[in-house]
Each structure stands twice: as structure tokens, then as C-alpha cells.
Amino acid sequence: MAVNVDIVYKTVLLILNQQQRGYITPDEFNKVATQVQLTIFEAYASNLNQQYRKPQNDTEYANHIKNLEEKLQFFLRSGAANYVGPHFTLPTVSTVPTVVETFVGNPPIDGINTIFNVTLWTTAQSNGAQVVVLLDGLVQAAGVDYTWNAAANQLTMTVAPPLLSNVVVQLFPSDFYRLGTVLYKDFKIAQYVQRNELAQLLLSPLTQPTEDFPLYNYENDLLYLHPPNIQADVTITYLKKPSDVVWNYTIGAQGQFLYNATSSTNFELDVSEQNEIILRVLAYSGVIIQDPNIIQVASQAVATEETNEKS
């Protein structure tokens, strides 16, 4: 279960307003919340490494290693690497659309209009992402049937969709974060080697890589498999990058911000992280509103919680 972005934002505002400390805007909150999520996520690997060096218990709910692995399982992915010679490219694009926006009816589809402005996700979310466009259920070809402007989140159809057609725009984010295991034919694990190690291994017939014992280099986000006749059936496991947190809104009659759940993106962290998320957001909020007391109290609370989790 993910942490609800609306609950976190309103809790932070409640705490700030309770003490009449100040206010952070939705845009400020989104930037801070995304950074907080990345900070907590990035700490999982080092915390897990630390716990592996400690004696563990076999209790059902208090095993630190198991609890950390459960938090990481939301980000575990696998996918096929594509051979483009002489290397493989990583499956960097998610297989599931994060946001879907549908245009239907009249307006904006009136048989004349060719331009559609996407509003359900930000231009920052479009960066590095893949967009899929469907017209009445049929996938359209990029550069032929439409063009996509990621800087403006604007779709331009080559030919105006017929009246009452249905245009669907799907966002598939770039989600690769950290490489895990490289597999050949699903069960043969390729061993990672550096360039100098590979050169030494190739010197002897006894240590050269084979299809049963493959090797790989990982450079510039590209995989180089050895022996070079491996050109298919390569799968990798990896950690996906957490999606940017977005508390989106509409403007109410009084000019107030009204939470829009449809176009918002929740934290992808486990619900058990809600307390730490709020404390860390409060610490950043203290920087924004220039209140050292909030920074100190929130930072001390975070430090205490981390100490308890790691001990």
C-alpha cells in the first residue's frame, strides 16, 4: 500500500499552521516530497547491507532484513535487454502507463482540431518518458500519425481525428534506477567483469567466457555480453526509480487549491514510511519558511527513528 500524497501534504500544513509557522505551496511540496522519497529509497540499499552484517532474529515481524526487502519489493522489476550490436540496451521504460488522459467528444474532438494539451501530468514527468497515442483503440505511429512535444505536453495529430472519436494518451515513464542480475536464457547468470579483468580472462582458453558461463561489461548504461555470439534471450533484473510525487489540484471558486486525485501521484514507498516522510518534509519546510526550530525538531525526530530502525 502506497503512502497517500494528500494525507502527507495536509498533515504537513496542519502542523505548520498549528504553530502559525508558515505555508508551503503545492509546487514546493511536490519538489520536497520527491526529494524525500528518493532519500528514503536510496537508503534502503545501504541499510540492507548494514543489516546483513548483523545477527538476525527469526521473528515474524521484527526481522530487519525481511522488513527492508518487503519495502524494496515495490521497486523490483525485470525486462528483456535488446541487442543493437555490439551491445544490449536496458529496458528503461516502464511496461505500465503511469498516467492516462482521454480526449473524447466535442470539444475538443470536432473533426478540425489537431492539437491536444495534456494536463494530467507535468512536463517534468514527460522527461525521458515514452508516450503512446491511441485513436479509437488503435496505436498511432510517432512522427507519422502524430508528434509529441514533451516540453509543452502537447500532442499534435497529423490529421484531425473524426468527430466523436476517442484519443487516448498514455505516459510510460523511464524507470530504470539500478542494475541487478543479468540472465541469459532465464537461468544462466552472467558475471560482471571490468575491462581489465576481461582482457586477462580472454588470454587463456580455460578462462574464456562461454554461453554456459557468460560475462558482461556495464558501461554508459549499455551491456556488453561475452562471448559476442550472445545476441538474444538476455533478461535483467533491476530497481525502478520512484515516480515523482505530485499533489495536483484544481482552483476552487474562492481561488483555493482543491486536491485532484486523478492527476496526482502518490508516494510509492511502503505505508510504514509515512511517519518518516512527514518528518523529513517538515524539515525541508523549515528551510523554505526559514524556521530553524522546525528544522531542528524534525531532524532530531528523523535521527531517533533511524537509530531505532537500525539498532
The confidence score (pLDDT) of residue 126 equals 81
Mean pLDDT per block of 10 residues along the chain (311 residues) reads: 92 80 85 93 87 79 85 90 89 78 87 92 79 94 94 94 93 85 94 93 91 93 92 93 90 91 91 92 76 67 65 62
Three-state secondary-structure class, residue 216: strand
Could you give phi then psi for residue 210, rounded to 5 degrees?
Answer: -130, 175
pLDDT of residue 114: 94
Q: What are phi and psi of 37, to 5 degrees?
A: -60, -45
Q: What is the pLDDT of residue 235?
A: 94
Q: Cell 543493437 belongs to which residue?
A: 84
pLDDT of residue 63: 83
- pTM equals 0.72
The dihedral of CA 266, 173, 66, 39: what is its sign? negative
User: Are 145 and 131 in contact, with CB atoms under 8 Å apart?
Assistant: no
pLDDT of amino acid 301: 64
Task: DSSP for 110-148, please give it.
Answer: SSS--EEE--SS-HHHHTT-EEEEEETTEEPPBTTTEEE
Identify the pLDDT of residue 297: 64
CB 89 within 8 A of CB 81: yes
pLDDT of residue 56: 74
Q: Determine the pLDDT at residue 221.
A: 84
**Secondary structure (3-state) at 220:** coil
The burial class, CB within 10 Å (0-12 / 13-18 / 19+), for 309 is middle
CA atoms within 13 A on the CB side of 197: 10
Composition of the chain by helix, strand, coil, percent to 5: 30, 30, 40
DSSP assignment string, 148-194: EETTTTEEEESSPPPTT-EEEEEEE-B-EEEEEEEEETTTEEPEE--
Report the SS3 class of residue 226. strand
pLDDT at site 309: 61
What is the sign of the dihedral through the CA atoms of 155, 157, 172 and 174?
negative
Output the pLDDT for position 19.
61
